[in-house]
Structure 1
Amino acid sequence: MEVKPQIRAWWDTAEHDYDAIAAHGVHSEEERELWTEVITQLLGSDQQLKILDMGTGTGFLALLLAELGYEVTGADWAASKLEKAKKKMERTGNFVNFVVEDAENLSFESEQFDAVVSRHLVWTLANPDSAFKEWARVTKPGGKVLTDIPSRHSHPGNHHFGEEIGKELPFYNGADPGDVISMFEAAGLVNVSVRVFDKMMLVEGEKA
Structure 2
Amino acid sequence: MTNSAAITAYWDAAADAFDEAPDHGLTTAHTRAAWASRLASWLPATPASVLDVGCGTGSLSRLVAEAGHQVTGVDLAPKMVEQAQGKLRAAGLEGRFLIGDAADPPTGDERYDVLLSRHLVWTLPDPQAALHQWTVRLRPDGLLILVEGRWREAGQSGVPYVAGAETLPWHGGVTAEELTAAVRPLVTDVRVEALSDDPDLWGGPVADERYALIARV
* Structure 1 length-normalised TM: 0.88
Q: Deviations for 1:137-195, whole angstroms, at most 9, x for unmatched residues? A: 100010101011112xx223766444853312222222222211121123x21211112
The 1:166/1:2 distance shift into structure 2, 3 A limit, reads: closer
Q: Which moved more, 1:38-47 or 1:140-149?
A: 38-47
Counterpart position of 1:42? 42
User: Is 2:203 aligned against 1:193?
Assistant: no
Counterpart position of 1:203? 213
1:182 counterpart SS class: helix
Counterpart position of 2:7? 7
2:46 counterpart SS class: coil
RMSD between superposed Cα atoms in Å: 2.1
Mapping 1:1-208, distance limit 5 Å? 1-13=1-13, 16-47=16-47, 49-110=48-109, 112-151=111-150, 154-156=151-153, 160-162=159-161, 164-186=163-185, 188-198=186-196, 199=208, 200-207=210-217
**Structure 1 unmatched runs, 5+:** none
**Structure 2 unmatched runs, 5+:** 197-207
Q: Deviations for 1:121-144, whole angstroms, at most 9, x for unmatched residues? A: 122222111111111010001010
Which protein, 1 or 2, shows the higher relative CO under an 8 Å CA cutoff with sep ≥ 6? 2
Q: Deviations for 1:19-64, whole angstroms, at most 9, x for unmatched residues? A: 11233121221112211111111113212x0000111111101011
Partners of 2:154 and 2:64 in 1: CA distance = 33
Partners of 2:26 and 2:175 in 1: CA distance = 27
Partners of 1:82 and 1:148 in 2: CA distance = 20
Question: Which letter maps to 1:117?
Answer: L
Contact 2:10–2:162 (CA under 8 A) maintained in structure 1: no
Contact 2:88–2:94 (CA under 8 A) maintained in structure 1: yes
Question: Which letter maps to 1:156?
Answer: E
* Structure 2 length-normalised TM: 0.85
Q: Which moved more, 1:52-61 or 1:12-21?
A: 12-21
1:10 counterpart SS class: helix
2:164 counterpart SS class: helix
Counterpart position of 2:199? none
The 1:29/1:129 distance shift into structure 2, 3 A limit, reads: same
Q: Which runs of 4+ in 1 moved over 6 A?
A: none
Q: Which moved more, 1:56-65 or 1:175-184?
A: 175-184
1:195 counterpart SS class: strand
The 1:157/1:206 distance shift into structure 2, 3 A limit, reads: closer
Size of the aligned set, in residue pairs, is 203
Partners of 1:144 and 1:15 in 2: CA distance = 28
